[in-house]
Structure 1
Amino acid sequence: MSPSRTTSVTPAAPAELVAEGLLVSTVRLARRLRQLSDARLTPSQHSVMTSINRHGPLTLGALAEVERVAPPTISRVVAKLESDGLVERRTDPTDGRIVRVVVTDSGADMLAAARSRKVAWLGEHLSQLSPEDRDAVAAAIGALERLVELP
């Protein structure tokens, strides 16, 4: 990264300056990581599959809540993933009126391969940082997780 593209934010910086630096950095990092995903999936499809895989079988309503999108959007995304054989709808074994979406074995394999590529890329690039920079990244993970969970 060239020095002109580096955002210098100190720990005592105002929240708005930290927000600007975080936005630029996370957008650029997300773009790099998306490039390592399976090209067959849109970012929305990948996010939906990841949510299903992480949270277990979900109803369409619960999935819409997790993804923070409208139910019709989830229905369209799930229909496409289902037609591609990456997810499937299953009737709840305890209540036949409830249908849950699960990731198929093929979908799980695709997610695992993408995750492996991303972790390898991150590991390779993190190893090129100074120990102090790696420590700073590690220290920020908890705060970033808490930030994501805020309403």
Structure 2
Amino acid sequence: MSTPPRSAAHPKTGAAAAPPDIVEIERAISRVAHMLTRAKQHDRTVAEAGVPVDRAAVPLLRALADASGPLRPGELAVLLAVEAPHVTRQVQRLERAGYVERVPDPDDGRAQRVRITDAGLEAFERVRAAWRQWMADALAAWSPDEREQLAGLVHRMVDDFLAHSEHLARCESRTAG
């Protein structure tokens, strides 16, 4: 099966075809994203960890666990690339569960920040440990060098994706203003 050259257009949409390596990268990323965001995978991980949190709560707990201190809800929204109301709802749920708490913002007496509680940190670390064990088991046949190479390439890819997105945002703001 031959792959069309880059300049070839899609027969139905007319869109330019991507190079074969980009097609395969996109396909692989889509497969990974789908697999990692499946409810079944999340349910298995939190059951193994013994922590009753929903899928949307885990990235928020991760952001707070990895932060150097309490964060404003807006900062969490930017970190997670979600809308502020989503963060507000998750914070309320996690607060009721005792996993996070709101504290006064030292820079603005009217504002609050969110910080992870000891119970929240313990819960997240249990989820993280279960997830890491799952990955270790899944990649058991890989050599340490292969796993290190994969980690390096994935970090590089994410860094390049973020840098490109920031570049595009700067370009868009210049043309809009």
TM-score (norm: length of structure 1):
0.76
Instruction: Quote how far apart the aligned CAs of 1:147 are.
Output: 4.8
For residues 21-100 of structure 1, what are the structure 2 equivalents within 5 Å? 21-31=28-38, 34=42, 35-37=44-46, 40-55=52-67, 56-100=69-113
Structure 2 Cα separation of the partners of residues 146 and 99 of structure 1:
30
Residue ranges of structure 2 left out of the alignment (5+ in a row)? 1-18, 166-177
Deviation larger for 100-109 or 84-93: 84-93
User: Are the counterparts in 2 of residues 64 and 71 from structure 1 also a CA contact under 8 Å?
Assistant: yes
Deviation larger for 129-138 or 57-66: 129-138
For residues 99-138 of structure 1, what are the structure 2 equivalents within 5 Å? 99-129=112-142, 133-134=146-147, 136-138=149-151
Structure 1 residues 59 and 137: alpha-carbon distance in aligned structure 2, compared to 1, 3 A threshold: same
Structure 1 residues 126 and 95: alpha-carbon distance in aligned structure 2, compared to 1, 3 A threshold: same
| Residue of structure 1 equivalent to 2:173 | none
Residue ranges of structure 1 left out of the alignment (5+ in a row)? 1-11
User: Are the counterparts in 2 of residues 33 and 118 from structure 1 also a CA contact under 8 Å?
Assistant: no
Deviation larger for 28-37 or 109-118: 28-37
Residue identity opposite 2:66 in structure 1: R
Q: Aligned with 1:57: secondary structure? A: coil
Which aligned runs of 4 or more in structure 1 are off by greater than 4 angstroms? 130-133
Instruction: Quote how far apart the aligned CAs of 1:148 are.
Output: 5.5
Structure 1 Cα separation of the partners of residues 109 and 85 of structure 2:
22
- When Rg is computed on C-alpha atoms for both structures, the one with the higher figure is 2
Structure 2 Cα separation of the partners of residues 96 and 137 of structure 1:
45
Instruction: Quote how far apart the aligned CAs of 1:24 are.
Output: 0.9
Structure 2 Cα separation of the partners of residues 74 and 52 of structure 1:
12
Q: Number of matched residues? A: 140
**Which has the higher relative contact order, 1 or 2, with Cα contacts under 8 A spaced 6 or more apart?**
1
| Residue of structure 2 equivalent to 1:14 | 21
Structure 2 Cα separation of the partners of residues 132 and 47 of structure 1:
28
Deviation string 1:99-141 (CA, Å, 9 cap, x unpaired) is 1000010000001111111112212222223567545524423
The percentage of aligned residue pairs carrying the same residue is: 25
